Chains A and B, each alone.
Chain A
Amino acid sequence: MTTPRRTGSLSTLALALALAASLLLVVSACSGSGGSQVEAEGLILKDAWARASAMSSGAGAAYVTVENTTERVEKLLSASVASSVARAAEIHETTTVSVGPSSTSIPSGAPEMMSMREVSSIQIPAGATLRMEPGGYHIMLLDLAEPLVAGQEFTLNLGFMNAGVVSIPVKVRAS
């Protein structure tokens, strides 16, 4: 009876210590460049910002840069924010869709359609940097609880295949 309990508590302790150590790693944050930077498991997250809302309700977008300094492929799998920020967060990609020849009235230099789609993951090759930016990858915030006001900050949680969930403060800017 005693032995299993002891083993149990020891492994709890070990797990706790490991967690604590990894937390410390996660939070070896704050680069001197002025922007928030968070490091976790060989990932460097930085330049996290969201555009201030134009309206009292609606959708928002957040952008983050993720450097994969490890020697293995990483994947961004999920995103979330507190319900006080938005109902849900999704990984999205803005893409251009070429207008097919069957479409009507194609002008010279036929404008493409801009489209947005949810993606299930974004792969970040070893040593590569994922730079989310307007017109590309972004985290879409659905049904904002309150307008995002310039100067505010909220926490974005990103789930990675290897590094697990990493949180970063996101700064709201006018544009």
Chain B
Amino acid sequence: MAPVMRSRLVLSALSVLLLASVSMVTACSGSSSADRGGEGQVVGYAPSPPREVGKRALPDHSTDAAGVPFPLRAAPGGLLVVYFGFLSCPDICPLTMADTAAGIAELPAASADRMEVAFVSVDIERDTGDRLNEYLSYYFPTTTTHSLRAVDTAQLTGVTSEFGVQWQIDPHEPGATTYGVAHTGTTFVVDDRGRVVWEIPYGTAGPEVAATLAHVLEVAYVTS
């Protein structure tokens, strides 16, 4: 009896310790701040010659659940910021969306108003128009966005090849919900004539996105 009791005692003492330690760990919360900020230099490059993408269109689900054809070009005098990604992407896409949103938010209102954002899903099996809308409205509550989802792989490939975007879906069982997708991480900037006038590499932080978009806005409409 005695040894059993003793181990019970020890066990209960242990659980008290455990509880105490858990509450101690919970107690010391706090945030850590990532400092990826920069001084806002222009990043990326202008493809030469600019690639023509404006003759391509994809179904846009932002205004109509069924999707209306959206030609890949900016509104007159504006810029269309285009990213190719997928919604189950936990790391790269959210980072790029957050950086792009931060960049647009840093622009003077008159410039920010000339920006539109298009997200092209490369994972048409899982991503729906509704979910694309939900995703974009989270990152860009005040910017006009376009939820672009191709009807099939052929239509998607037609657009990605114009942009020079690569993407690849990992082999998976039909109906699988977790599978990997590789894709180009570049953000493309398209003018109102449907030309890719700038490419912003993956990993560009908000201040640099702002400086770059301001620069592109300036140079894109000087000669045209």
Partner of B47, one of A54, A60, A107: A107
| Residue B18, interface by CB 8 Å | yes
With A16-B10, A56-B134, A105-B161 known as contacts, the answer to whether A94 contacts B31 (CB < 8 A) is no
Q: How many residues of B contact A (CB 8 A)?
A: 61
CB neighbours (8 Å) of B13 from chain A are 16, 20
CB neighbours (8 Å) of A36 from chain B are 25, 28-30
Bound state CA distance, A155 and B25, in angstroms?
10
Q: B25 touching A111 by the CB < 8 A rule?
A: no
| Residue A35, interface by CB 8 Å | yes
Q: B30 touching A34 by the CB < 8 A rule?
A: yes
| Size class of the A contact interface (CB-based, 8 Å) | 35 or more
| Residue B17, interface by CB 8 Å | yes
| Residue B184, interface by CB 8 Å | yes
Q: B164 touching A110 by the CB < 8 A rule?
A: yes
Among residues 165 to 203 in chain B, which have CB atoms less than 8 Å away from a CB atom of chain A? 165-168, 177-178, 180, 182-186, 199, 201-203
With A8-B3, A12-B10, A27-B25 known as contacts, the answer to whether A171 contacts B88 (CB < 8 A) is no
Partner of A171, one of B25, B32, B186: B32
Q: B25 touching A138 by the CB < 8 A rule?
A: no
Bound state CA distance, A103 and B165, in angstroms?
10
One digit per residue, 1 when the CB lies within 8 angstroms of any chain A CB and 0 when it does not, for chain B 121-139 equals: 0000000000100110011
A84, chain B: closest CB distance, angstroms: 15
CB neighbours (8 Å) of A43 from chain B are none
Partner of A140, one of B45, B48, B90: B90
Q: Which residue of B lies closest to A60 (CB)?
A: B90
Bound state CA distance, A5 and B178, in angstroms?
51
A144, chain B: closest CB distance, angstroms: 9
| Residue B154, interface by CB 8 Å | no
CB neighbours (8 Å) of B109 from chain A are none
Partner of B14, one of A16, A47, A99: A16
With A54-B97, A99-B166 known as contacts, the answer to whether A114 contacts B18 (CB < 8 A) is no
Partner of A54, one of B3, B30, B94, B177: B94
| Further 19 A-B residue pairs, CB within 8 A, beyond A13-B7, A23-B17, A51-B95 | A16-B7, A19-B14, A23-B18, A29-B24, A29-B25, A36-B29, A38-B25, A105-B161, A109-B45, A114-B92, A115-B168, A116-B89, A133-B34, A134-B95, A135-B95, A169-B26, A171-B32, A175-B94, A175-B95
B interface residue numbers (CB < 8 A to A): 2-4, 6-7, 10-11, 13-14, 17-18, 21, 24-32, 34, 45, 47-48, 51, 87-92, 94-95, 97-98, 102, 131, 134-135, 138-139, 161-162, 164-168, 177-178, 180, 182-186, 199, 201-203
A interface residue numbers (CB < 8 A to B): 5-6, 8-9, 12-13, 16-17, 19-20, 23-24, 26-27, 29-30, 33-38, 46-49, 51, 54-56, 58-61, 92, 94, 96-97, 99, 103-117, 133-135, 138, 140-143, 153, 155, 167-169, 171, 173-175
